[in-house]
Structure 1
Amino acid sequence: MKHSAMAGLFITAALLASPVFAADKDLCAANIQQISDFVDSAPSLPENSLDNVKAALEKSKAAQAAGNDKDCVEITSGMITKMQIRNPTRN
């Protein structure tokens, strides 16, 4: 499972480095889905940490709705990295 997490990080990094803006839209949606799945699975995190994840999810959805895919990707990628650091056994 850790291998798939590492692969996901490399793919994310490759897409972030890509100049193709359409990739930002797809990555934004994929990252939002990954964070939503994480929240729905309700890992045993302190309530404050889970609230931070939910806040980032709402902020990224607002950026996506505004058409600001670059901000959405920045928010979601940062949160996914934090999720993986705090709970490495999930991926």
Structure 2
Amino acid sequence: MKRTAISGLFITAALLASPVFAAEDLCTANLQKISDSMATAGATPEGLDESIAKHVEDAKKAQAAGNDKDCIAITSKVIERLEKTEKGGQ
């Protein structure tokens, strides 16, 4: 009985902690994807590099403050913008 209760407690703790780590991982993954995309990008429209750098800075500040939700929101928008630019749209 005690083993079952303890096992259940550990499983519950692991499940509750997972979204926190997943959000942090997604934020970090998005920042890496942006970095990789900028490193391999050819010519970009005027001002895009500065705009992206500003957004990345904001995302890193949000991540450092523990606000992974904002970091993910910012980086997701930047990735969408980069993908549009790569396809020829702005």
Task: Tell me if TM exceeds 0.5.
Answer: yes
Please give the alpha-carbon distance, in whole angstroms, between the structure 1 residues aligned to 2:86 and 2:20.
30
Paired positions, count: 71
Structure 2 spans left out of the alignment, 5+ residues: 1-17
Find the counterpart in structure 2 of residue 30 from structure 1.
29
Structure 1 spans left out of the alignment, 5+ residues: 1-18
Q: Does residue 74 of structure 2 align to residue 75 of structure 1?
A: yes
Percent identical residues: 41
Greater Rg over alpha carbons, structure: 2
Whose relative contact order is higher, 1 or 2, with alpha carbons under 8 Å and at least 6 apart?
Answer: 1
Find the counterpart in structure 2 of residue 52 from structure 1.
51
Deviations 1:38-84 (A, max 9, x none): 22335300230111111111111111111110000000001101110
Deviations 1:4-27 (A, max 9, x none): xxxxxxxxxxxxxxx923211100
TM-score (norm 2): 0.69
Cα RMSD after superposing both structures: 1.9
Displacement after TM superposition at 1:86 (Å):
1.2
Please give the alpha-carbon distance, in whole angstroms, between the structure 2 residues aligned to 1:62 and 1:47.
25
TM-score (norm 1): 0.69
Answer yes or no: is the 8 Å Cα contact 1:39–1:53 preserved in 2: no
Please give the alpha-carbon distance, in whole angstroms, between the structure 2 residues aligned to 1:38 and 1:84.
9
